[in-house]
Each structure stands twice: as C-alpha cells, then as structure tokens.
Amino acid sequence: MFKINENYLKLPGSYLFSTIAKKVSAYTEANPGSDIIRLGIGDVTQPLAPAVISAMHKAVDEMSDAATFHGYAPDLGYAFLRDAIAAHDYKARGCEISSDEIFVSDGAKSDSANIQEIFGQENRIAVCDPVYPVYVDSNVMSGRTGEYHPETETWSNVIYMPCTMENHFVPEFPKETPDLIYLCLPNNPTGTTITKPKLQEWVDYANKIGAVIIYDAAYEAYISEPDVAHSIYECEGARTCAIELKSFSKNAGFTGVRLGYTVVPKDLACGEVSLHDLWARRHGTKFNGAPYIVQKAGEAVYSKEGKQQLKEQVAYYMKNASAIKAGLQDAGYTVFGGVNAPYIWLKTPQGMTSWAFFDYLLEQANVVGTPGSGFGPSGEGYFRLTAFGSYENTLRALERIKKL
C-alpha cells in the first residue's frame, strides 16, 4: 500500500496569496463596481522588451525547419546562454564563475525549492525573517523543519534571523550554528539589502563554520547603491561556500515565460563530494526546464538593445518605488526599501496587525497590498507594497492612501 509524504500535511493550510484573493473577491462581491488597485503580488506588468520578442520570433521560425529545429535542451542549458551569463553577470563584475558552473532552469522558484534536496536531512537551516516563503516551505515538505508552533508561527528546527527596523533589516549571525543559510538580497519582502563588506562577513562566517549560503539574487537588477554587491561571488571565498540563484523574472519580465539559473561553483564540496556534481543529477537533467525559444530570449537580454530596453523597464518600476516611498512618507508612514528593490515595506500605523492594515487599506482605499506576517513572524506589524503596477495606478493608489 502506498504512503504519502506526510511532511506535505505539515504546511499550514492557507497560502498567503490565496487568502488575499479570497478576501478581495469577498469584498468586490459585497461592493460591486469598486475600483480595486493591486499593489500586492510581485508579478511584473510591463511587456517583454522588443529585443526579447524578436529573438523569440526568430527561434520559433528555427523550430519550423528540420535543419534548425531543436529538441531536448542540453542538461546545463545552451552554451550560448551560459556564455552570455558568465560574461555579463560574472566576468564583467570581476567574479570568477565559468559557464560550466551555471545551470539554466525554468526559474528561481523551482531551484530555490529543489536545491535543498542535495543536502542531508539532518542539516539545520537558517532564514532571514521575513523572507520569500519558498525556502522554509520546501524544507517543511522534505521533513527538515521539525514541528510547527501556531502561536508563534515558527518551526522548531528552523533558525530565524529577524530583520526588523531595530537592526536596520541586517541579519545577525545566529546563536545556534546553521548548516544551510538562505540569504535573499535584496530582500523580498522588505526591499532592503546589506553592503558588500557585510556580505563578506557572511561569507567568512559560512567558510568558518562549514555552512553553505544559498544566495537568492532575484532582485539584483534593482540595486542602485554602489556599495551593494550584485553577486555573492564578488566576495572573497564565496566559491567554497555559496550557491547563487538568479531569475529573469523581475529584471526582464519573464514571469510568464520562465527562465532562471543556479550557480554551483566547482570548489564547493562536502569532503570529496562536489556539490556541482550532485546538482547535475537534479530533476530535469537531460531535459532542461527551459526550452530553446526561451533560452534564445534569455540570450537577447544580454544584447546591447536588450540591456538598454531592460534598464528602462527597471527604471520604470523604480520610479513607481520612489513615488510610493515619498508619497507614504508625506502621509506620515515609516517606510523602508524601495531603493535597491521594487518593494516598499512600511510599518503599520498605530500598532495595527498586518492583516488589520490589509483590511483597512482594502476597505477604505480599495488598495490591495500584502500583509508582512505572511513572510514570517518578524513581518508582523509591517506591510508590503510593490512597484510593479502602472505608474498611473500607483499615483492613484497613493492619492487614496494620503486621504485616509
């Protein structure tokens, strides 16, 4: 008789975004015709850049001819894309990462969830709190997180590293010793990040205690401050302790197309065993998750026109971020993020809980955001707004919030 993986049952039932969707649909049913503005979910809204679209059209045409048709993609991804990534994302920044250390994938979500599979069950994970929920959820499903305590919304075997206004959202080395450290920088949801010297301290710490840092750089394209690293491999010694996850979703609008990559340096090893070799056995190997057409689109992201067009797209979203930040500050809110990331993180007013503020904003301003508590216990009392809406809607939402 088959058995299920009971760890799946441990995940608390209702997912953050489905609860939000239910609340919004209940509100619109009760208030038909209300003009809801969504500044909640982290999906992009601008269309794919012309350089990307034209590369995709060309690749589609190639698929129609037996002479240029492409079947299964190579297991690491096509060399044309890995070479472009190695040149532009690493060599140009002085990082020593070669194209055969890059594993192309269908996005950072699957890699960030699956990467834990190459590590033993007994590893203890540490996460920034609050953070993108996939890291903890995937470790819950693999049975690594212990028991859930609903009163504190924490897992007994997870080391939480609070990032709050008190420590300027900079994670501190935990008291207990972790084996796997998830760092998401710039951070979703707080929109904050740390300086390169601080990141170097994390690399030194990981090397010292023999831990692996899983570094999610999905929002790297939004970094505007010069003392912030674009890759963890800008830090000395990162090749022996860090795996880096990247996505084409937020820098190039590929959320509906799906493309990302993971870097596992060949120097990263557990005794004699190379983690690079282990990740080469991951699910999907030999049938790379990203199709030829999408990998060609990814290559175009690094073309001269592609780079220019995407710089403009990031600037568009960051104009929204600046407007939200300034508008909320004018209205008396305490606001963080929005400088190196498309997320604005605000302290809820008058000690309101995150969900109470969600209801208040929905009912009084018809604006939808995301309650901070959905990203971890230290997110309680905070709220996330995203810069991914249209500029017009962003301004309209701000006008409404200012009137409250």
Closest to 260 in 3D by CA, of 230, 219, 211: 219
Closest to 77 in 3D by CA, of 288, 293, 300: 288
- Which of 108, 185, 223, 310 forms a contact with ligand PLP (CB under 6 A)? 108
Q: Is 138 in the site for ligand PLP (CB under 6 A)?
A: no
Tokens 């596992």: give the residue.
264
- Beta-carbon contacts of 309 under 8 Å, excluding residues fewer than 6 positions away, are 49, 50, 51, 52
- Which of 38, 82, 109, 296 forms a contact with ligand PLP (CB under 6 A)? 109
Smallest separation (angstroms) from ligand PLP to the CB of 182: 10
Smallest separation (angstroms) from ligand PLP to the CB of 187: 8
Instruction: In whole angstroms, give the CA distance from residue 223 to residue 251.
Output: 11
> Which pairs from 311-314 meet CB under 8 Å and 24+ separation?
313/46, 313/49, 313/252, 313/253, 314/221, 314/222, 314/251
Q: Is 132 in the site for ligand PLP (CB under 6 A)?
A: yes
- Contact segment (CB under 6 A) with ligand PLP among 18-26, 69-77, 104-112, 396-404 equals 104-112
Residue 218 or 275: the one with the smaller Cβ distance to ligand PLP is 218
Smallest separation (angstroms) from ligand PLP to the CB of 4: 26
Tokens of 281: 């056995």
Residue 146 or 284: the one with the smaller Cβ distance to ligand PLP is 284
DSSP 272: T
Instruction: In whole angstroms, give the CA distance from residue 202 to residue 176.
Output: 15
Q: Is 38 in the site for ligand PLP (CB under 6 A)?
A: no
- Beta-carbon contacts of 162 under 8 Å, excluding residues fewer than 6 positions away, are 129, 171, 378
- Which of 89, 216, 244, 299 forms a contact with ligand PLP (CB under 6 A)? 216
Q: How many residues bind ligand PLP (CB under 6 A)?
A: 14
Dihedral class, residue 243 (left if φ above 0, else alpha if ψ from -120 to 50, else beta): beta
Q: Is 348 in the site for ligand PLP (CB under 6 A)?
A: no
Residue 59 or 184: the one with the smaller Cβ distance to ligand PLP is 184
Tokens of 295: 């990998």
- What amino acid occupies position 79? A
Q: Is 288 in the site for ligand PLP (CB under 6 A)?
A: no
Q: Is 188 in the site for ligand PLP (CB under 6 A)?
A: yes
Q: Is 184 in the site for ligand PLP (CB under 6 A)?
A: yes
Q: Is 192 in the site for ligand PLP (CB under 6 A)?
A: no
Q: Is 107 in the site for ligand PLP (CB under 6 A)?
A: yes
- Please answer whether residues 140 and 157 qualify as being in contact, where contact means their C-beta atoms are separated by less than 8 angstroms: no
- Return residues touching ligand PLP (CB under 6 A): 42, 107-109, 112, 132, 184, 188, 216, 218, 247, 249, 255, 260
